[in-house]
Amino acid sequence: MGIDISWARNELAHFLGLTELYRKPDPPGVVSFSSRLSNRGSQADIAASAHVVEQILDRVLPGWRTEVDKSKNGEVNRWVQHREAAQRADAALLRDAEVRSRLGDDAPQLSAGSMHPWVWDGARALWGSGHLREAVTAAARKVNAEAQNKIGRRDVGETKLFQRVFSLDAPKADQPRLRLLEDDGSDTFRSVHRGAMAFAEGCYAAIRNPNSHEDGLPELPEHEALEQLAAFSLLARWVHAATVLTV
């Protein structure tokens, strides 16, 4: 489901109204040289609004916490970074489709917020702080943990886990399987499960392991990190939808 643009823009506008900056008049006989500005709304109301707005920003501008300057937060007002990010997000919501169309780039966009919840919930905090490799690793761990939960096993994980759960062998007492299709003896059934096994192995061998174990690697570009998250999102959807087959 896509973002409700009208609702999101209303929430951003409400936040921008609460955080509008102004300088309080000095008391009679006092001259202040402080550069700090005050907000129109109460801090309690702003904090409540920010709880929603931050989730909108994470969806519309995933890198806002590191890409939008926050150096003036302490000097001018604690909500300066949020205000600039909200203004950018509002412009993106209002004109993104138009801009992409005018520039000849109206292809579908990949959004982390629309990925499987296991993946984005696992990655969200690290992604927001700009640690993209670690965010992908966290998502991989989350998918692994949810697959373990689904079959009730903790003694095997990652590549070996998916090799076993997608195996074409019949389940055993201590080895349940995950089935994406009913076993009708067809080539399609065998192909789907062999493919799922190979895909999972590739995700952990070629994405998760290098991100986790190679020190000194440069940070991932955002588009590449999104593609890696998308791979784990597809695996998560398969696991989530699969039927557990036991003896």
Residue 125 lies in a domain: yes
Question: Residue 44's domain spans which residues?
Answer: 5-102
Q: What is the pLDDT of residues 161-188, one digit of tens each?
A: 999 999 999 999 889 999 999 999 999 9
Which residues are registered as beta bridge partners of 38?
22
What average pLDDT does this structure show over 69-83?
A: 83
SS3 content of the chain, % helix, strand, coil (to 5): 60, 5, 35
- 140 pLDDT tier (thresholds 50, 70, 90): very high
Picking from 124, 90, 241, the residue whose alpha carbon sits closest to that of residue 180 is 241
Residue 107 lies in a domain: no
122, 219: one domain: yes
135, 162: one domain: yes
3-state secondary structure of 84: helix
Residue 27 lies in a domain: yes
Phi-psi region of 116 (alpha: psi -120 to 50; beta: other; left: phi over 0): beta
Residue 37 pLDDT exceeds 70:
yes
What average pLDDT does this structure show over 125-154?
A: 93
Residue 130 pLDDT exceeds 90:
no
Picking from 27, 29, 11, 7, the residue whose alpha carbon sits closest to that of residue 19 is 11
Query: What span, in angstroms and rounded, lies between the C-alpha atoms of 138 and 3?
Result: 25
> Higher model confidence: residue 212 or residue 149?
149
Residue 199 lies in a domain: yes
> Higher model confidence: residue 57 or residue 26?
57
Distances (CA, A) of 9 to 6, 18, 48, 85, 90: 5, 14, 16, 13, 6
E strand or H helix at 22, and its extent?
A: strand 21-22
User: Domain boundary at 102, 134, 168, which?
Assistant: 102
Residue 177 lies in a domain: yes
216, 128: one domain: yes
Tell me the one-letter amino acid at 105. Answer: D
User: Domain boundary at 44, 69, 102, which?
Assistant: 102
Residue 1 pLDDT exceeds 60:
no
What average pLDDT does this structure show over 107-115?
A: 76
